[in-house]
Amino acid sequence: MASAADGGKPPRLPDSDIALFREAARGVTPLPAENRAPVRPSRPRPLPRQRWKDEAQVLQDALADPWDALEHGENGEALFYARPGLPHAALRKLKRGSWAIRAQLDLHGMRSEEARLALAEFLRRCARQDHRCVRIIHGKGLSSPNREPVLKRKLRHWLMQRDDVLAFCQARPPDGGAGAVIVLLKSPTH
């Protein structure tokens, strides 16, 4: 590599290297200048930075809290939700624990914003891996101020916003009870 210290000239190759090259290239005739194609370095593919920013913002906004779940109707009862049109048999199976839990996310101990983003990423990963039934552990709120289950209440709202969530219910005692929820997801192929 040329540097300012040596006047910008490329370094001199050893005579043995020059002789070796000339021996290897003996009998080679250079192409005439008019038959040479100009060599232009290929441009790197552009990075979709704005699309990445937009997708990150959509991910963040997708589970936003437009209202405070603590003040609107959730008073500690068991979590339950079913999208209209879901067959009753599917809902019964979910409540009874008949669906095989394919993945799990543990949110307890996280702050609200951290939990919301972790949930969005988890559900996106579950869709890619075609996991239909998952467990989300939100905790019972025993370490929260006033011992209130803040994440449980927020989780209900976040899940209801998602089109890929068909239903959810409080986990059975062996699956986490009041500290977890079992979620039934749409198949990504439908």
Domain ranges of the chain: 54-185
Please choose, from the candidates 93, 28, 33, 72, the residue with its C-alpha nearest in 3D space to the C-alpha of residue 160. Answer: 72
* pTM score of the predicted model: 0.58
To which residue do tokens 């192929």 refer?
189
Please choose, from the candidates 136, 142, 146, the residue with its C-alpha nearest in 3D space to the C-alpha of residue 170. Answer: 136
Q: Which residues pair with 105 in a beta bridge?
A: 136
User: Tell me, what's the pLDDT at 101?
Assistant: 92
To which residue do tokens 């209801």 refer?
160
Residue pLDDT tens, the chain, 190 long: 545 455 567 788 899 988 998 898 888 887 777 777 778 888 888 888 887 877 776 666 555 544 333 333 344 456 788 988 888 888 888 888 888 999 999 998 888 899 999 999 999 999 999 999 999 998 876 666 666 677 888 898 999 999 999 999 999 988 888 889 999 999 876 5
Please choose, from the candidates 75, 122, 64, 99, the residue with its C-alpha nearest in 3D space to the C-alpha of residue 169. Answer: 99
Pick 54-185's CATH classification: 3.30.1370.110, 3.40.50.1820, 3.40.50.410, 3.20.20.450: 3.30.1370.110
Alpha helices by DSSP H, listed for 97-137, are: 112-128
- Give dist(CA 70, CA 154) in Å, integer: 8
Q: Residue 172 is which amino acid?
A: R
Pairing of strands 103-106, 133-137: parallel
- Give dist(CA 24, CA 12) in Å, integer: 19
Q: Residue 136 is which amino acid?
A: I
How many residues are present in the chain? 190
Q: Residue 79 is which amino acid?
A: L
What are the backbone dihedrals phi and psi of residue 154, each rounded to the nearest 5 degrees, phi first? Answer: -70, -40
Please choose, from the candidates 143, 76, 135, the residue with its C-alpha nearest in 3D space to the C-alpha of residue 106. Answer: 135
Rg of the chain over Cα atoms, rounded to whole angstroms, equals 31
Please choose, from the candidates 177, 179, 172, the residue with its C-alpha nearest in 3D space to the C-alpha of residue 97. Answer: 172
